[in-house]
Every structure is written in C-alpha cells, then in structure tokens.
Structure 1
Amino acid sequence: MNQPTFSQLLRSPTMLLAFGFGSGLAPKAPGTFGTLAAIPLWWPLQHLSPALYLGVVIVTGLLGCYLCGAASRQMGVHDHGGIVWDEMVGYWLTMFMAPAGWGWALYGFVLFRIFDIAKPQPIGWVDRRVHGGVGIMLDDILAAVYAALILQLTAVIIG
C-alpha cells in the first residue's frame, strides 16, 4: 500500500489512530507532526492523578502495539514513517509528572524528538532488532524514558 489518503484513514479506525488522526500524513517529518498532535491530547491528561495518568499511558501503549503492528502489516512496511501513534504515546510518557505549563510542554517535545531521532543505545539496537508492533512502540518508549529523565532532572535543578 502506498501512502494512504485521509479519506482512506477515515474508513479504518486502526489506521486513523496509527496515523495520529492524520498527522502522520505530513509529507515531511511525520514523527514530529505526530508528536505535535499529542500535545493537545496531553493537556487534559496532565490534570489526572499520577496513577490514572500512568494507567492511560500503559493502556495507550498496549493499544499502540496492536495499532502499529496492524497498520504496518496492512501497509506491508515495517514502521512506516506515517505511523505515529508511538510518537504520541512517547510524548505522553515523557510528560509523566512534568511541571505544568507550555514551556515544559515544549521542552518535553524537544527532548523527546531529540532522543527519538538520535536513537542512542539501546534505542538504536531495539529499533533495528525488535519488529512488529512491540518494536515500533518500544524504541519510542525508551526515547521517552530518556527524555523524561532529563526533563525531571531539569525540573529538580531549576527548583
């Protein structure tokens, strides 16, 4: 399957979610656009209790294993660039217990994108060797852990 159209995404809830409600259709940097699409969805999440927030991230991460795997199989391409549900969940994990405010939201966005693009070890190893929906999700989850650690360390240092 070539790059799907938005009308094709609307016919498949799996593809619509995997492509980040259409944000993954961006012709350049779809992962960045997918992460951007996660920000407005994060805004209400930040007001949840830590346990409920983490529960949402776990459920969306598990759902992502299915969505990303199914979309990948349907397209016949492992980790097609337009599949961005993994970036969305990665951003939400990055922002777990982050300080409130747009500055922190932007900082988390930048940190997550740096780690997702650079793929320092073991992220790069996972990206190359773990396949299917789990592999698509796992490298972004690891990037989110790195980004979240830096974000939290920064928050502690700034006070």
Structure 2
Amino acid sequence: MPDAPPLAPAPAQAPQRPSARFMLGHPARWIALGFGSGLAPRAPGTIGTLWAWASFIVLDRWLGPAGEWDFAILLALVVGWWACTRCAQHLRVADPSAIVWDEIVAFWIVLWLLTPAAWWLQLLAFGLFRFFDAAKPGPVGWADRLFKLRPGQAIGWGQGLGILFDDLVAALCTLLVLALGVRLWIW
C-alpha cells in the first residue's frame, strides 16, 4: 500500500470582522472596542480618541477633585491589557484598528496631566496625540514594532501589551511637545 501524502497544515482561521453583534459577545470586546467607538467605519482611532475626550469630561466630575484619576487609569491599563489581548485573539488579528481602548487610556493620561487647561490647549493635545498615534514617528514607531508577531507565533499577552504600549509612548511624546512648547513660549 503506497504511503499517504503528508497532510497539509490546517489553514489559519480568517480574521473576524468587528461588529455590534461581535462586540456584544464578550465583555472584553466592549472594553477593547471602546464601547462601540472602535466600530466606526473610518478613522476608528480618531473616534476612540474623541470618545476618550468626551468621557474624560464626564468622569472628571467624579474622579478629578478627589484625585482618583491615578487609580482609574491604572485600573484601565490592567483591565485594558486583558481586554485588548482577548479581543485581538477573538478577532484573530494582532493589532486591529477597531481596538481603541489604547487611544482612550492614553488620551485620558494626556488630559489628566494637562487639566485644568483651556479648550484650545486640549484641542492641540488632541491633534498632537492623533499625529503621533497615526504617523508613528521615532519612538512611537519603535514601540509599535516592539511587540509585533513573529512567524508562527500566536496572539498573546505580549501583543495585548503592544496594543497599549505604542499609544502610551504617543501620549508621552504629546506631553513632551506640549511641555517644550510652553517652555519656549514662556522663555
């Protein structure tokens, strides 16, 4: 009896498309998809950042004066790491654009450290953050590449951390540019 041909490896499952129905299927998806803001058909990162700004204004009434933003952001980072990892695994994409929790938490950090600030300064911070997040110059690009999948590697905790990490670096770059700009303006 002739030898049977070797079996080909099973094809990888196709990526899942994010949708409202998909989001409703698991709590991690609600969080990672920014409570639906990541489902925007265009520029989900920008929509997620706008959602971050609006939610910051609302949440700051309860978290601002008493100083609980630090705890809330730490909790959002830990829960976000879990949610972004699980959602990326469910979508079968290492860093899907629909995951916007990274933009939300990173922009919360920018606003937390910036406020109280005039609306135009918050708008400038928004523009700078979107630039750093989308264009990924210098250190943001390095941070984005740091946790990329290698061939044969499964989506895991490293990719979940990577989803958050490049946006945290974008937030840091935003704050540095604002601080240098204010310093030069005063000087």
Using the size of structure 1 for normalisation, the TM-score is: 0.88
The answer for the alignment partner of 1:53 in structure 2 is 69
Deviation at 1:3, TM superposition (A): 1.8
Cα distance in 2, alignment partners of residues 83 and 133 from structure 1: 10
Per-residue deviation, 1:155: 4.4
Does structure 2 retain, via aligned residues, the 8 Å contact 1:17–1:85? yes
Separation of aligned partners in 2, 1:87 and 1:6: 19
Identical-residue share of aligned pairs (%): 38
TM-score (norm 2): 0.76
Output the CA distance in 1 between the equivalents of 2:163 and 2:26.
19
Equivalent residues in 2 for 1:7-156, closer than 5 Å: 7-46=21-60, 48-49=64-65, 51-98=67-114, 99-130=116-147, 131-156=158-183
After superposition, the Cα gap between the structure-2 partners of 1:143 and 1:3, relative to the gap in structure 1 and judged at 3 Å, is same
Matched residues, number: 159
Superposed displacement of residue 8, structure 1: 2.6
Is 2:37–2:48's contact at 8 Å kept on the other side of the alignment? yes
Unpaired stretches in structure 1, ≥5 consecutive residues: none
Find the aligned partners of 1:46 and 1:103 in 2 and give their Cα distance: 18
- Cα RMSD of the aligned pairs, angstroms, is 2.1
Which consecutive unaligned segments of at least 5 residues does structure 2 have?
Answer: 1-14, 148-157
Instruction: Please give the per-residue CA displacement for 1:30-55, whole angstroms capped at 9, x wherever unaligned.
Output: 11111111111111444515952222
Q: Which has the larger radius of gyration?
A: 2
Q: What is the alpha-carbon distance in structure 2 between the residues aligned to residue 127 and residue 6 of structure 1?
A: 27
